[in-house]
């Protein structure tokens, strides 16, 4: 089975991964970037174009699990619709033989927002506002295609330098949901979709049998982005708990503390604090109505002209 080019460079001893140093069609696998329960992501070079790219492989042992294969397919189908400087770009989706199912994406140098927070604890208001605006622009594009990310957090926001400026990009559409394509049932009461610390209340308590297009929409991403915004400004999440279930209960029942109470060292204007807390409203109808409107509010509050106004 031609899963890798047997005439390519042999493994050079960097770890025990058999793919490193091998060729997958026109891609030379350089190093492992990260791995999760479902996939591994590698840095690779397109040998014909001499470009660095990222390749995400579904773990071979999961190829017989239809739900994993379907999720991988869905991620590709979602990503191929999205073209925006604040969203990670998909170049290719395919299979090699019967074992390797892969996505080829743009390679993003830089750091995740999570890594930056670990280094700085929290961010200046102007920097936090700029990052949230970038994410809002990217997610606005996704929402216009009927796609809800459902997993917005500092782990899935990448910060990088591009064309002389620092920009934020949304990554990892692995559990994104298309509301246009007839989503079906996605969860049941108290079953988690997304990270417990960032998940919107309606993602937690979707009644059994309720169609996702009626219960979870783009405002779930606004809530998760609100949790992220709160964390960028204070260095802490709006809710702290010792278990996933306890986080879910707090999202459903507990009001977030004022930002200055969470971190007395910070200074945030009442208008920005009000916006953050509205993003965290339990009822989705009380949140900003769209990512576009969120962007415009932030532009007005920061006294900047909306140079990157979503179209």
Q: At CB < 8 A and 24+ separation, what contacts does 27-31 make?
A: 27/53, 27/55, 27/104, 29/4, 29/55
Tokens at residue 191, please? Answer: 């079953």
Whole-angstrom distance, CA of residue 288 vs CA of residue 294: 6
Whole-angstrom distance, CA of residue 24 vs CA of residue 73: 19
Q: How far is CA 175 from CA 76, 149, 172, 179, in A?
A: 11, 7, 8, 13
Helix axes 125-144, 219-234, angle to 10 degrees: 170
Phi, psi dihedrals of residue 89, rounded to the nearest 5°: -100, 140
Torsion of CA 31, 35, 38, 39, to 10 degrees: -20
Whether 217 is catalytic: no
Catalytic entry in 5, 12, 17, 151: 151
Tokens at residue 150, please? Answer: 């459902």
Q: Report helix, strand or coil for 304.
A: coil
Cβ neighbours for 197, distance < 8 A, ≥ 6 positions apart: 153, 227, 237, 239, 247
Whole-angstrom distance, CA of residue 284 vs CA of residue 298: 19
Catalytic residues: 151
């Amino acid at each position: 089975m031609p899963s890798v080019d047997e005439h390519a460079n042999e493994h050079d001893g960097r770890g025990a991964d058999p793919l490193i140093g091998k060729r997958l069609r026109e891609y030379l696998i350089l190093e492992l970037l990260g791995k999760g329960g479902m996939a591994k992501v590698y840095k690779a070079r397109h040998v014909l174009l001499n470009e660095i790219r990222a390749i995400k492989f579904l773990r071979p042992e999961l190829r017989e699990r239809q739900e994993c294969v379907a999720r991988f397919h869905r991620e590709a189908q979602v990503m191929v619709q999205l073209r925006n400087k604040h969203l990670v770009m998909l170049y290719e989706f395919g299979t090699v033989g019967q074992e390797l199912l892969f996505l080829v994406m743009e390679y993003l140098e830089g750091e995740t927002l999570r890594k930056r927070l670990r280094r700085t604890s929290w961010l200046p208001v102007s920097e936090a506002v700029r990052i949230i605006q970038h994410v809002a622009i990217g997610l606005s594009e996704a929402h216009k295609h009927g796609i809800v990310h459902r997993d917005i957090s500092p782990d899935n926001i990448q910060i990088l330098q591009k064309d002389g400026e620092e920009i934020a990009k949304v990554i990892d559409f692995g559990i994104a949901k298309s509301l246009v394509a007839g989503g079906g049932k996605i969860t049941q009461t108290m079953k988690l979709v997304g990270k417990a610390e960032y998940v919107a209340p309606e993602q937690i308590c979707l009644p059994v049998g309720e169609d996702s297009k009626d219960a979870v929409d783009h405002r779930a991403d606004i809530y998760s982005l609100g949790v992220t915004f709160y964390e960028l400004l204070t260095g802490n999440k709006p809710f702290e708990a010792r278990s996933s279930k306890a986080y879910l209960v707090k999202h459903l029942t507990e009001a977030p503390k004022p930002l200055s109470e969470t971190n007395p060292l910070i200074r945030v204007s009442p208008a920005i604090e009000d916006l953050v807390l509205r993003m965290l409203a339990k009822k989705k109808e009380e949140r900003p109505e769209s990512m576009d409107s969120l962007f415009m509010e932030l532009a007005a509050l920061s006294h900047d002209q909306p140079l990157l106004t979503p179209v």
